[in-house]
Amino acid sequence: MHNILKLTSSVLYMPIGPSGCGKSTLYHKLRGVQRELHNLSKDSIRCLLYGDDYAKAWIAANNDKDFVAKVKVIYEKMLGEKSKIYLDNTNLSPKIRRYWLTEASKYNYTKIAIVFDVDVDILLSRQVTREDKTVPKSAIYQQVAALKQPVIGEFDVVYSIIDVIRVLENVNT
């Protein structure tokens, strides 16, 4: 396994996991050692475009037929700039991941999956303490059921969150 942090530009990190599993937290940890890492999050873009109230921004984005196209324009610009990208969404199935991976391949990106295997009880307990948003219990169960493991071929490299944490711990020691 090569070091996830030694890769240069043109890297797409795709965390895969349900809401509350730690995807955004990992971005901040990676950003601490890779200052050039850019976050692409539909949640952040919703709030940027429609205001800081997450519930209102969610509704506004769902009512905007062009929201997904706006996100894709931002993504394609990042790809063209050869940015290191952290695609901070749930990314649960190959169908959902396909567009992002296909576009990254056009720009010769190294595509890295980071799988968050977190117990559903932990996911549910984390929803209570979240300050940004609360995802309903039923949605968490749906997300857990929808998660399809990534494979080599779909991605260039597949890591578990445990592997990534070990690498990060070695950087800080």
Which tens digits make up the pLDDT trace of 10-31? Answer: 899 999 999 989 999 999 999 9
Length of the chain: 173
Alpha helix stretches (DSSP H) within the chain: 23-33, 42-50, 54-63, 67-80, 94-106, 120-129, 137-146, 161-171
Q: How far apart are CA 166 and CA 95, in angstroms?
A: 30
CATH of the domain spanning 11-171? 3.40.50.300
Residue 1's pLDDT band (boundaries 50, 70, 90)? Answer: very low
Mean pLDDT of 25-45: 91
- Cβ atoms of 90 and 19 within 8 Å: the answer is yes
Considering the chain, what is the average pLDDT of its residues? Answer: 89
Q: Flag whether pLDDT at 2 surpasses 70.
A: no
Residue in 166, 168, 154 with CA at minimum distance from that of residue 16: 154
CB-based contacts of 159: which residues, under 8 Å, 6+ apart?
1, 4, 112, 113, 114, 115
Greatest C-alpha distance within the chain: 48
Global confidence as pTM: 0.89
Whole-number pLDDT of residue 129: 74
74/78 Cα distance (integer angstroms): 6
- Compute CA distances 9 → 5, 15, 163, whole Å: 11, 18, 21
Q: What is the pLDDT confidence band of residue 147, given thresholds at 50, 70 and 90?
A: very high
What local confidence, expressed as pLDDT, does residue 103 receive?
Answer: 98
